[in-house]
Structure 1
Amino acid sequence: MSATLRSLLDRRDLRLRLLTPTDDPAALDTPVSWLHSSDLPDPTPFLTPGQALLTTGTQFGADPEVPSDPVDAYVERLSARGVVALGFGTEVVRAGTPDPLVAACRARGLPLFEVPYETSFIQVAQANADAVARDANARRDWSVAAQRAVSHAAMRPDGLGATIAELSRQLDCWVGLLDVSGRLDRSFPTRGITEDEQHQLQAESVRLLRGGQRASLPVRTATGRFTLQTLGSGGHLSGVLAIATSVLDQPGREVVTAVIALAGLALQQNRELARARGLLRTGLLTMLSSGDPTVVETTARQLWGPLPAEPVRVAALDVADEQVDRVVDLLELWVQDRPGHCFFAVDDALFVCVSADDTGPVDRLVEQHDLHAGLSDGVPYADFARARAQAVQALGRSREGRVGIVEFGDLAREGVLAHLAHTEAGPIARAFLAPLVDHDADAGTDLTRTVRTWLEQDCEYDRTARVLGVHRHTARARVEHAGRLLGRDLGLFATRADVWAAFVALPAGTRW
């Protein structure tokens, strides 16, 4: 028997009579957490929401004609406090229940019942306390049985799915599991929520997962309420458990806690297995780099599906240590969803191999996680090592700027000399040009800028003179003087190329 007003009214030995039938039958089934008795004009400081009150009406005085105003204010205070029912004891102060009290309770929708003189308040309170105790014992028994059922479900072949399904049955509501990408992985019952609700839960789950810490979040949708609970430990979240209810009592929370622990354990075991697979992937990456794609193709096909079709491009991505697990989990999901779409492994960087005509996985990783990435040219698997080296080189250039993808092909189109500015050739270039720079500093000349302008103008003196605003003979004299200081013949192509390479190798913005 539940501790509700209906259960008290159904007790024939109490002889209670409902005076204000309500338009909402569910109001009689509202749990009554406790029953108090008080004749104070304002007992609300001593009451909490969910309780019922018993009174003899002493606070309304002994006059048979009870005024409406104080009664209205009294009932209003009780309703605002969250009192769920009011019981009036008759034949103690007055015969029957005052009409103004009946009218006020009816107007506020507060259930009012009459307690006859033969029934003591302590009997009513004791009956409710017994029902509350029976409810608590029943819920504790249910919690133990539910946790046992959940534990047995966890031992089935699909332990994770069986655990989620059992929780749904025990709570009699929809339960879903969202993976590390925020995608709904499984749910019970399958069609328990709308598409809009699913999108909203996914968006909120992504927000929780990006926070990286264990957390719980109530979510209100257009049609219901949900509770989201992260799974896994802080910094290594494994997913989100979604339950189609926002209010759980203590026994219910204990069952959910047990499921969270079991689901977290199952996901942790999956993570350990994923680490073992990661080591295998790294070994396969090494074999690909050594020119042995046949064994890699056979192994990968048995475990994950075929390798991406040739020609392929290799991406090297710079992933922070605290992000690696999350990114790898995401890639595992992509591989499961589309076998043969990509192959990946973690070594000195995260390497992702994709078909040359479909770099979507690389683009999505960079966009979602703000990563630096380098992307190789398209090659057959026989040239995988070359593609890997290209990706690493392009990644190095990407690290020099904003996050995003740098393609090796773009580096190649810049030319060999342009690459010098991104190497350690700067100190050598500065030492090579030092005779000119030092002479300009000591003598106040402009030989360094003149030589650079002369090379930029294809070594034509007339054009150089116009750019510098000097006579052509002055430009020629300066260049010849520079050649003597450098100890090199600037009439030779090799010398000119060497000097130009020195200018290119120096950092951008170097001033002369």
Structure 2
Amino acid sequence: MVPLRMLLSHPDLGLRLIAGDAADLEVRWAHVSELDDPTPWLEGGELLLTTGLSTRWGDDGALQYCQRLVERGVAALGVSVGSDLAYQEVPEALVDAAEKTGLRLILVPHLTPLQSVVRAVADSISSASAQPLRSLIDAQQKLMSEAASGSGLSGATSRLRAMSGLSIAVYDIRLRAVIDDPDIVLGAEVRRRIRRQLLQDRQGSISIQEDADRSLIVLPLVTEGRVRGFAVSSTHGPFALDQRALLKVAAPVLSLLLDLHDMADAPVRSARAQLATLLLSARDGTEHLPSTFATARVNAATTQVISARTLSVAQRRAFLAGLNDLAGDALVLNDQDQTTVILCDPLPDVFDRLSALVAELELGNAGIGEPGPVERTPQSLTEAVRAQNAARTRDVPLATAPKQGHQLRRVFRGDEERLAEFPRSVLGPLDAHDHANPRHELLPTLRAYFDSIASIEASAMTMQIHRHTMRARLKRIAELSGYDISDSSQYLELWLAVELRSQLAT
């Protein structure tokens, strides 16, 4: 569509309106016809151009001609006149008929070819059609210039807010705010929708009408085929088409900047992984914990460990996106299909929240240990692994640590040195073997067997060995220790030695 005023002001055409009012009239197309009745070939909205060669513009002829054009919806009639054309000037009868019928009548100068008017209309329509695309390209270039200026993700987000008039925030894959916006809060339903999209490994946008007055769009930020985070925009009422288009154009720029932000944050991620390893290990190296906590930007008075089986990369990402609902922060370690999470300052109802998340994502099996001070994290890990094995054995999605051995030190009150003598005497041969054969440790194998409630398959999976290898190790344990684990009393004595050692170490 081209405004008629634009054509009338075109410097190369010289068109002049001689009847009617251009007002806000728009022209759909321009068409040249010398027929006395061109209406069968018109659709309406055209600027009809003619020299009047085959028309009869007497009093009645002009009126009937104009009436047909008005009824067909023609936008305006352009008449070219000159000494070598049908009319040297526009007939008065045609001007009167145009005034009576309300048809806009335009004088086309003799030196202006009608085809040049057609071309001007076509060019204007093409330019108007391309304008939104040019605007989007210009907007993307402005965002890239902002990013190149050194202001990074923050500057690009601010520029996008100014250009779109929207509230915009950026979140990482864990749904932690990287660029915050006070007008945007990710509610439970939005988080659930994001997790479902991650679980389905989809990368489309999510549109949500939160209420009658406010709507939300979530755009995945993707680099190298992987979702790195999300740009979340919000507005009062529905989104305009140009706002949606602008967000889609901005997404690749924000994706790149979020990736660069993550690269710059690599030392912190490395420190978080180191902190997780230190917390999960035995009590060695705890003198480095305060500095590692600071470098990792983590604060925690208590921790609680989750051990979960994640069946795919998509499931693992969806699980990560749910961790913020469980604790103030979380440290994550992945090993093939096994994910270990240290919850930092877990919420009081963490088990119920985790249970809902495990069910939502259909995780393989999961277990959760008991909460406690950071020094107790290794024990919570042991409990989480036991709980996961119990969940696998009982075929349930989630379990807590079996209540075994927690009260041993109360039951066997006495000097710790005397208590420690019992595990040393029972497990001494296994200690000697493991010291000489660090790649084929028997004590961790026995621990895994007890934690899995005497399941060969589950303990073999924990140790990442074949079940036949597991049976061979159990046979070797019986040979070295002199205890037959198929005998209930001897099984109990071996378990008691392992459990006492674990309890005395905490």
1:230-269 correspondence runs (5 A): 230-233=220-223, 234-240=225-231, 242=233, 244-247=239-242, 257=249, 259-269=250-260
Residues 409 and 165 of structure 1: is their aligned pair in 2 closer, same or farther, counting only changes over 3 Å?
same
Inter-partner Cα distance in structure 2 for 1:185 and 1:98 = 68
Inter-partner Cα distance in structure 1 for 2:253 and 2:348 = 39
Is 2:30 the counterpart of 1:35? yes
1:212 aligned residue (189, 198, 201):
201
What root-mean-square deviation, in Å, do the aligned CA atoms of Structure 1 and Structure 2 show? 5.6
2:155 aligned residue (137, 162, 187):
162
Residues 264 and 302 of structure 1: is their aligned pair in 2 closer, same or farther, counting only changes over 3 Å?
same
Inter-partner Cα distance in structure 1 for 2:318 and 2:40 = 57
Listed as ranges, the gaps of 5+ residues in structure 2 are 80-89, 407-448, 460-466, 468-485, 493-506
Inter-partner Cα distance in structure 1 for 2:159 and 2:3 = 29
Query: Which moves more between the two structures, 8-17 or 213-222?
Result: 213-222
What amino acid sits opposite 1:318 in the alignment? R
Inter-partner Cα distance in structure 2 for 1:229 and 1:175 = 13
Q: In the alignment, is the contact (CA less than 8 A) between 2:306 and 2:368 conserved in 1?
A: yes
Residues 166 and 278 of structure 1: is their aligned pair in 2 closer, same or farther, counting only changes over 3 Å?
closer
Q: In the alignment, is the contact (CA less than 8 A) between 1:315 and 1:388 conserved in 2?
A: yes
What amino acid sits opposite 2:4 in the alignment? L
Residues 59 and 232 of structure 1: is their aligned pair in 2 closer, same or farther, counting only changes over 3 Å?
farther
Residues 182 and 378 of structure 1: is their aligned pair in 2 closer, same or farther, counting only changes over 3 Å?
closer
What amino acid sits opposite 1:215 in the alignment? G
- Aligned to 1:386, what secondary structure does the other structure show? helix
1:351 aligned residue (338, 341, 346):
341
Shift in Å at residue 160 of structure 1?
1.0
Q: In the alignment, is the contact (CA less than 8 A) between 2:304 and 2:343 conserved in 1?
A: yes
Inter-partner Cα distance in structure 1 for 2:147 and 2:242 = 25
2:278 aligned residue (287, 306, 311):
287
Is 2:15 the counterpart of 1:14? yes
Inter-partner Cα distance in structure 1 for 2:361 and 2:262 = 20
Q: In the alignment, is the contact (CA less than 8 A) between 2:195 and 2:321 conserved in 1?
A: no
- Aligned to 2:293, what secondary structure does the other structure show? helix
Q: In the alignment, is the contact (CA less than 8 A) between 1:3 and 1:131 conserved in 2?
A: yes
- Aligned to 2:157, what secondary structure does the other structure show? helix
Shift in Å at residue 153 of structure 1?
1.3
Inter-partner Cα distance in structure 1 for 2:148 and 2:32 = 51
Q: In the alignment, is the contact (CA less than 8 A) between 2:47 and 2:78 conserved in 1?
A: no
Inter-partner Cα distance in structure 2 for 1:94 and 1:410 = 105
TM-score of the two chains, using structure 1 as the length reference: 0.56
Return the structure number with greater strand share: 2
Inter-partner Cα distance in structure 2 for 1:94 and 1:353 = 89
1:424-439 correspondence runs (5 A): none
Is 2:314 the counterpart of 1:322? yes
Inter-partner Cα distance in structure 2 for 1:125 and 1:359 = 72
Inter-partner Cα distance in structure 2 for 1:187 and 1:114 = 58
Listed as ranges, the gaps of 5+ residues in structure 1 are 76-84, 104-111, 428-494, 502-512
**Post-superposition CA distance 1:277-316 (Å, at most 9, x none):** 4443332223222214442243223432312x24x43221
Shift in Å at residue 374 of structure 1?
0.6
**Post-superposition CA distance 1:195-214 (Å, at most 9, x none):** 99x99988876665554344
Identity percentage over the alignment?
17
Query: Which moves more between the two structures, 259-268 or 388-397?
Result: 259-268
1:118-157 correspondence runs (5 A): 118=109, 121-122=114-115, 124-128=117-121, 146-157=139-150
Inter-partner Cα distance in structure 1 for 2:378 and 2:456 = 22
- Aligned to 1:212, what secondary structure does the other structure show? coil
Shift in Å at residue 391 of structure 1?
0.5
- Which position in structure 1 is the counterpart of 2:72? 74
1:113 aligned residue (101, 104, 129):
104
Q: In the alignment, is the contact (CA less than 8 A) between 1:87 and 1:113 conserved in 2?
A: yes
Inter-partner Cα distance in structure 1 for 2:189 and 2:40 = 45
- Aligned to 1:95, what secondary structure does the other structure show? helix
Inter-partner Cα distance in structure 2 for 1:177 and 1:53 = 48
Residues 347 and 11 of structure 1: is their aligned pair in 2 closer, same or farther, counting only changes over 3 Å?
closer
Is 2:85 the counterpart of 1:86? no
What amino acid sits opposite 2:332 in the alignment? A
Inter-partner Cα distance in structure 2 for 1:115 and 1:172 = 40
Q: In the alignment, is the contact (CA less than 8 A) between 1:178 and 1:205 conserved in 2?
A: no
Inter-partner Cα distance in structure 2 for 1:122 and 1:155 = 47
- Which position in structure 2 is the counterpart of 1:370? 362
Residues 92 and 208 of structure 1: is their aligned pair in 2 closer, same or farther, counting only changes over 3 Å?
farther
Q: In the alignment, is the contact (CA less than 8 A) between 2:154 and 2:179 conserved in 1?
A: yes
Inter-partner Cα distance in structure 1 for 2:53 and 2:215 = 43
Residues 329 and 204 of structure 1: is their aligned pair in 2 closer, same or farther, counting only changes over 3 Å?
closer
Shift in Å at residue 390 of structure 1?
1.3
Inter-partner Cα distance in structure 1 for 2:140 and 2:453 = 66
TM-score of the two chains, using structure 2 as the length reference: 0.57
2:388 aligned residue (395, 398, 421):
395
